[in-house]
Chain A
């Protein structure tokens, strides 16, 4: 493409936006609302995911064995658990280790524990700590382990895991539905804006076609118009959200200072590593789709 053609396309694209500024504004605002919600939900989901991941790592499922289970049988059960895809790692704790840990935790070096010196009260407490990589699968895994031979009891952090997992699922589904609806509205509005632009310039387009302009040449300013609308519609909410994110995190940590140290929010730059390219691509992509569909329909002369 020649520089003069690129310049012409740019100029005409901007003129189109200015001519139909009311429609352009409506498209930009809808797009902005859509991308804003994408950003909010994305931030929420990644943060909850991050917290859930921590819980997954820190709160394991504990598996205890029947009395008289041999070391080999325990290892066999361990191997079966390890083979599950939702299991990240397992750690074995022998009865002796369990007692040592218990002592450390509850007697904290006092002599009271000496009464059990040669008699481990946790003799049947050899166990596996099972760490998951998918928190939502915990219940499924627990019922699987419960069905295994030699397994006496399974302790789990089911409530926390399920609550976080379900919350994330709910947020994901709700956000997907809302975003999908807004995406469709955005495409419709951009396509409408572009078709108004085409109607206004119908005569000019007719002349262009008689003179021998290619479809691509005629279409390019309209495609550019759609992409610029999408880009502006994405840039505004992404900028707003950038500042809003930090303010919100700060507010939550001050207002509920009990959470400090318990809940780790992902830093904004890390969220934006994905959100920024995703938001911009989404905006430009929707703009392009909306304008492409309309221009293809109206520009056959």
Chain B
């Protein structure tokens, strides 16, 4: 599903943010990416989202060669991804239903399909009752669920989550992680960038540890390592 072959990304003359990284993630895998600030985790996610172009190497995601991809193809590629951020990035002037429907609207899904699919996915994340609420009326955990619903509504191949529990308390973080696990069990490949030691240790998933742009450890049922 994800293949990185000798991928590097430099911003300037200094040390590359991602330095000759090789990685293979299978379809349906759940992967944590951990490491201290500046270790290259976020750059890695941005490369996968095609927000950044790699300086060298090959990046193959869901059958697409990202390093060769033209700008006009990026939109279509991103429809294969679901993305969740630490700060939720919801539209404050729209309610829960509209925030989720928005993801379908921008890719031109007909209204009939939207009306069927949005309640389904809201049910999946446990927010069916709150479809009329606005983001400011929801707790952090609930807002992240809306963001998750929005990421899932188009049935992506891969879910990329950049610090999804960064703004949440431990209990809510655990709930969100359980939800991610459920999503993964239904077949979606999940890549989670996190600092959350407890959760990583508890979930016993594959863990990639990054330091100075390099993957220093890759463990199947790993734990959180300080670099």
By a beta-carbon cutoff of 8 Å, the part of chain A in contact with chain B is: 1-2, 4-5, 8, 203-204, 206-215, 217, 300-301
B105 contacts A4, C-beta separation under 8 Å: yes
- Tell me if A217 and B111 are in contact (CB < 8 A): no
Asked if A215 contacts B83 (CB within 8 A), the reply is no
Q: Is the CB of A215 within 8 A of B89?
A: no
Is the Cβ of A213 less than 8 Å from the Cβ of B106? yes
Interface pair B105/A8, CB less than 8 Å apart:
yes
Nearest chain-B residue to A203 (Cβ)?
B89
Contact A212 B91 (CB under 8 A): no
Q: Which residues of A contact B49 (CB under 8 A)?
A: 210
Choice from B71, B75, B89, B91 contacting A213 with Cβ under 8 Å? B75
A300 to B75, CA, bound (A): 11
Given A4-B111, A300-B71, the answer on whether A212 and B76 have CB atoms closer than 8 Å is: yes
A212-B75, A212-B79 given; A207·B107 CB < 8 A: no
CB distance from A211 to the nearest CB of B (A): 5
- Say yes or no for B108: interface residue by CB 8 A criterion: yes
Return chain A residues, CB-CB under 8 Å to B102: 207-208, 211
The 8 nearest A-B residue pairs measured at CB: A212-B79, A213-B106, A212-B78, A214-B75, A211-B103, A4-B111, A210-B83, A212-B75
- Please indicate the chain A residues that have their CB under 8 angstroms from the CB of B188 in the complex: none
Q: Does B110 contact A (CB under 8 A)?
A: yes
A5 to B102, CA, bound (A): 11
The CA of A64 and the CA of B111, in the complex, are separated in Å by 83
Residues of chain A within 8 A (CB-CB) of B103 are: 211
Say yes or no: B110 contacts A213, CB within 8 Å.
Answer: no
Pair B78/A210 contact, Cβ less than 8 Å = yes
A-B contacts, 20 of them at CB < 8 A, read: A2-B110, A4-B105, A4-B110, A203-B89, A203-B91, A204-B91, A207-B102, A210-B49, A210-B78, A210-B89, A211-B79, A211-B103, A211-B106, A211-B150, A212-B77, A212-B107, A213-B75, A213-B107, A215-B75, A301-B51
